[in-house]
Structure 1
Amino acid sequence: MSAPSEFDWNHIRAFLATAEAGSLSAAARQLRQTQPTLSRQVAALEADLGVLLFERIGRSLVLTEAGADLLEHTRAMGDAAERVALAASGQAQSIEGRVRITASDVWSAYVLPEALRRIRDQAPRLEIEVIAANDIRDLMRREADIAIRHVRPDQPDLIARLVREATAHFYAASHYLDRRGRPAAKDDLASHDFIAFGDVIEMLGHLTPLGLPLTRANFRLGSQSGVVAWDYVRQGFGIAPMDDGVAALTSGVERVLPEMEPLVFPVWLTAHREVHTSRRIRLVFDILADYLSA
């Protein structure tokens, strides 16, 4: 893909809107332009770059490989341009209304606070409601405006951005390990107590393929609340897997089997497509994306 001789933000904006809306007509409505105008701008960008950015399948436009590659770069540009526009007009300070964010209870308690401070600094008149829930709240039914999930949603009216590949390890309180001994190998875990996060059978379904010699007998304590289960770990009741970032914020715990390969899980930031037309939702979405990507 060759770089255009002159940068035209209008062409980039047209491409970005079309890629995220999925059609020229929807993008034209979003940008308040005519469809032919938008089509010419996208075509001009394709001509400048010398590549095909979209393929038409039925009534929908599908990104080509070159288009998908360009999208990752233009999203960052679009987010930056939006923030500059808000800051320049002073509108960030005047944006108001309620935005509901849903995340697991552990992430709500440990990960989100710093992001919430940034939101408050940039838009002090916003009302933020955090829905701390370990089930998946339905964005289509507007049970929340923005969701932080570990699986990508497949509903066509939702947009999702992969913001992080997070890692996790096993952790326990130092005083628990002082009392019960520090495992040196996976086989040593068979004699230890574990804390269940939710359903034990489901948890074993994730842990057994890792070669861990665990059975239901290892899980004699647990909770549907991730915050409660993690506090049981902190209080010395046993071992549990935890996001490394959360563990780093928790005093008195240490990594078990520190040489073990980390558990890796995706973090998706998801919202209804209204994120493009609601400035308060877009502002919160962008701040969360920046924070979680860091």
Structure 2
Amino acid sequence: MDWDKIRIFFTVAEAGSFTRAGEDLGLSQSAVSRQISALERDLRAPLFHRHARGLLLTEQGDLLFRAARDMKMRLETTRARLTETAERPSGDLKVTTTVGLGSLWLTQRLPEFFDLYPEIRVELILSNEELDLAMREADVAIRLRQPTQPDLIQRRLFTVHFHIYASTGYIKQFGEPKTLADLDNHRLLAFGGDQPSYLLAVHWLSTAGRDVRNPRPYHCVINNISGLKTAVESGAGIAVLPDYVADQDNGLEQILRDVEMPSLDSYLVYAEEMRQVARVQVFRDFLVSKAQRWAY
């Protein structure tokens, strides 16, 4: 099979249309269509169902797409190993983690990493949904729960503790709650929205110390930890926050310190095939060193 045609086919399958694939490839829509038609003739099999809303893979097309994806992943891994050495790690490193941990903890440590390894380029993908590392949606992940996939290498980094916080200004205006029951008379803020259940579970102010069937109302629900932190800093109310957002002099005060709070363990995760890639190795060692110095 002609690899150039396979490459065009793979791009079309991912894009879902000849037009979008042509834009990605720098080809006209008609040129892309001709290449696909020629490939179908070569293989004597239809690869796409064509309809007004776009393209759908046939059974034969899906089989070819899976094979092409595997070839692409192997070629990318081989290229990475050929173009870098252990002495001078280089190339692109795609890292994914949660929005909060990435934007408020990891980004603060990237400058030091770039100073150490200036030839590594990091693409940081912040999402609370877990990307598929086996399918190379990312090279490395930092996750806030232990992975269950057996083919992933994992290294525990540190424990993220959660506590209840309010701003100095809020406490001055409304007073400091001394018991969980006192929260009934305060403005409560929460992390929420369409999020994984394990992340939502640690933000339990609505039910802390009372019947879960009769939760306290929240004054505001925010689907972003950075936004929730800013709201608390501004005096909007009281919220549960991870300690990595409150480890600076930002006017936040921990309250109800005697209350037992939840925690989540963080893990560095990558696919087995990335074990020998130098830039993954140095990123792993760098994060492990940062985790050891982070006293939580």
* TM-superposed deviation, 1:250: 5.2
For 2:86 and 2:249, how far apart are their aligned partners in 1?
Answer: 33
Assess, with a 3 A threshold, how the Cα gap between structure 1 residues 122 and 185 changes in structure 2: closer, same or farther: same
Runs of 5+ in structure 1 lacking a partner?
1-89
For 2:245 and 2:284, how far apart are their aligned partners in 1?
Answer: 21
Contact 1:189 1:213 in 2 (8 A): no
Aligned equivalent of 1:257: 256
Aligned equivalent of 1:211: 209
Assess, with a 3 A threshold, how the Cα gap between structure 1 residues 160 and 236 changes in structure 2: closer, same or farther: same
For 1:241 and 1:127, how far apart are their aligned partners in 2?
Answer: 34
Assess, with a 3 A threshold, how the Cα gap between structure 1 residues 175 and 111 changes in structure 2: closer, same or farther: same
Match for 1:284: what amino acid? F
* TM-superposed deviation, 1:118: 2.7
* TM-superposed deviation, 1:199: 3.6
SS in 1 for 2:114: helix
For 2:230 and 2:210, how far apart are their aligned partners in 1?
Answer: 23
Output one character per residue of 1:208-227: Cα deviation in whole Å (capped at 9) or x when no partner: 67535786653121222221
Alignment of 1:133 onto 2:132? no
For 1:225 and 1:206, how far apart are their aligned partners in 2?
Answer: 13
Match of 2:182 among 188, 193, 196: 188
Runs of 5+ in structure 2 lacking a partner?
1-83
Contact 1:170 1:257 in 2 (8 A): yes
Alignment of 1:162 onto 2:156? yes
Assess, with a 3 A threshold, how the Cα gap between structure 1 residues 120 and 170 changes in structure 2: closer, same or farther: same
Assess, with a 3 A threshold, how the Cα gap between structure 1 residues 180 and 267 changes in structure 2: closer, same or farther: same
Q: Which of these two proteins has the greater Rg computed from alpha carbons?
A: 2
**TM-score under structure 1 length normalisation:** 0.62
For 2:87 and 2:249, how far apart are their aligned partners in 1?
Answer: 34
Match for 1:127: what amino acid? R
Match for 1:109: what amino acid? S
Alignment of 1:286 onto 2:268? no
* TM-superposed deviation, 1:188: 0.5
* TM-superposed deviation, 1:97: 0.9
* TM-superposed deviation, 1:262: 3.8
Match for 1:197: what amino acid? F
Assess, with a 3 A threshold, how the Cα gap between structure 1 residues 92 and 119 changes in structure 2: closer, same or farther: farther
Give me the CA root mean square deviation.
2.7
**TM-score under structure 2 length normalisation:** 0.62
Contact 2:163 2:241 in 1 (8 A): yes
Assess, with a 3 A threshold, how the Cα gap between structure 1 residues 123 and 180 changes in structure 2: closer, same or farther: same
Contact 1:171 1:239 in 2 (8 A): yes
* TM-superposed deviation, 1:195: 1.7
For 2:202 and 2:118, how far apart are their aligned partners in 1?
Answer: 44
Say which structure is richer in helix. Answer: 1
Assess, with a 3 A threshold, how the Cα gap between structure 1 residues 209 and 140 changes in structure 2: closer, same or farther: farther
Match of 1:148 among 142, 147, 164: 142
* TM-superposed deviation, 1:106: 1.7
Aligned equivalent of 1:244: 243
* TM-superposed deviation, 1:204: 6.5
Count of residue pairs brought into register by the alignment? 205
